[in-house]
Amino acid sequence: MSLNDGALDSNQSWALQLRRGLVTLEQLKERGWLDASATDADLKIAKSALDVRVPAAFHDEINKGDLSLVNQFIPSVLEARIAPEELSDPIGDETFSPVAGLTHRYPDRVLVKVTYQCAVYCRFCFRRHKVSHSEENLSYEALDAAYNYVESHPEIKEVIFTGGDPLVLTDKRLQPHLDRVERIPHVESIRFHTRVPVALPERITPELCEMLNSLEKLPWMVVHINSSSELTDSARAAITRLRRAGIPMAAQSVLLKGVNDSSEKLQCLFRSLFNLGIKPYYLHYPDLAKGTGHFRIPLSHAIEMITSLHGNLSGLAIPQLTVDIPGGHGKIPVNSNSCVLHQSEDKNSGEIWKMKSPTTGEWVDVQYPLCP
């Protein structure tokens, strides 16, 4: 089959589709998508912390009241409520950034943040202290030190393009980053962390697929999808274009209250992904980002939920429930060897867990606030 099968007309501009996204509180208010009882002051606090962008891909379903999309993308006054345990940089990106735009937490791989802009701004974003803030963006030239760092560390085998979303860059702006990494002999693979296939499926053009397919190093596409509602016909077509181009795909999801917090919803999501040729990879417990407490359920409940999928869903379709230990201690699978409940939720506090850092081997106490 040709890579062009099922593709949009190449003359159709994905940039125009990006501009159709709603970016102001006034636009959301005009459509009746904001809580009528919400105060303008709290909504402005939410928008100042993380900008608004609701992509055209989801407008119809949000208009129909699909809460799995409303809760993810429409700002809430609850974002102005910040618990003492919540952090500006919950996973410690800055602690492990030896040069601007690069995070080196694990020996064999690095994150390179080629942009802090996205096709959609998720209200639970853990990197909200930089994402959507255009002044944080780095040019290709500004990232020169990051690529020099990769060149000087032969233990680095994988470069992960993230941000923000690397695929909101045009092909012309993305190509130099790919070329630079291609020239580093010890790097074996390139990974993209992206929401574009569902939030801006028009961006997955035949030209982009050909660019990725032509890479000497193996490109992986890790798509962030939290609800089966995100898998529109256009998104499915974009995913099919990537699959036909030979791009291996995995999915990471975040367990979110009011979005996918039932076994039935998770089963539907993971089965849909699996049937599209995407391996469900991680199910993240929400990070302790400021103003995101309304998205969390108790971690003990999350464990019960993921456990319930076994026996009801193919093992290949079940992701690993993970926690990124606050403060930069690393990502762990949630199991009895790495994560132990120390104090259960009660009326006055949340849960306290002991978690074993994969980077130091030390046990770290983590307190989650009482879930609303």
Per-residue pLDDT tens over the stretch 32-91:
999 887 788 999 999 999 999 999 999 999 999 999 999 999 999 999 999 999 999 999
371 is annotated as an active-site residue: no
Catalytic residue among 290, 324, 339, 368: 324
Work out the average pLDDT over 88-101.
96
Work out the average pLDDT over 237-263.
98
109 is annotated as an active-site residue: yes
Q: In the prediction, which pLDDT does 256 show? A: 98
Catalytic residue among 51, 122, 123, 241: 122
106 is annotated as an active-site residue: yes
Q: In the prediction, which pLDDT does 94 show? A: 95
Q: In the prediction, which pLDDT does 343 show? A: 77
pLDDT digits (tens, 9 = 90+) for 172-212: 999 999 999 999 999 999 999 999 999 999 999 999 999 99
CB atoms closer than 10 angstroms to residue 2:
8
Tokens of 76: 């809430």
Q: Are 343 and 351 in contact (CB under 8 A)?
A: yes
Kindly state the percentage of the chain with pLDDT values over 70: 96
Give the containing element (helix H, strand E) for 25.
helix 25-30
Give the containing element (helix H, strand E) for 224.
strand 218-224
Q: In the prediction, which pLDDT does 35 show? A: 87
Q: In the prediction, which pLDDT does 347 show? A: 59
287 is annotated as an active-site residue: yes
13 pLDDT tier (thresholds 50, 70, 90): confident
Kindly state the percentage of the chain with pLDDT values over 90: 91
Closest CA to 142 of 115, 169, 160, 108: 115
271 is annotated as an active-site residue: no
Closest CA to 120 of 77, 70, 82: 70
Work out the average pLDDT over 211-240.
98
209 is annotated as an active-site residue: no
More confident residue, 132 or 344: 132
pLDDT digits (tens, 9 = 90+) for 329-369: 999 999 989 999 987 766 577 899 999 999 999 999 999 99
Q: In the prediction, which pLDDT does 3 show? A: 40
165 pLDDT tier (thresholds 50, 70, 90): very high
105 is annotated as an active-site residue: yes
Q: In the prediction, which pLDDT does 37 show? A: 76
Q: Are 73 and 105 in contact (CB under 8 A)?
A: no
Alpha-carbon separation of residue 273 from 204, 240, 241 (angstroms): 17, 11, 15
**Residues in CB range of 70: below 8 A, 6 or more apart:** 33, 62
The pTM assigned to this predicted structure is 0.93
The span from the first CA to the last CA of the chain, in angstroms, equals: 50
Q: Are 185 and 139 in contact (CB under 8 A)?
A: no
Q: In the prediction, which pLDDT does 227 show? A: 98
Catalytic residue among 53, 105, 180, 296: 105
Tokens of 150: 């990769």
Catalytic residue among 47, 53, 123, 127: 127
Q: In the prediction, which pLDDT does 336 show? A: 85
Range scoring the smallest mean pLDDT among 2-16, 30-44, 225-239, 272-286: 2-16
Q: Answer whether residue 5 shows pLDDT above 50.
A: no
Catalytic residue among 81, 173, 331, 356: 331
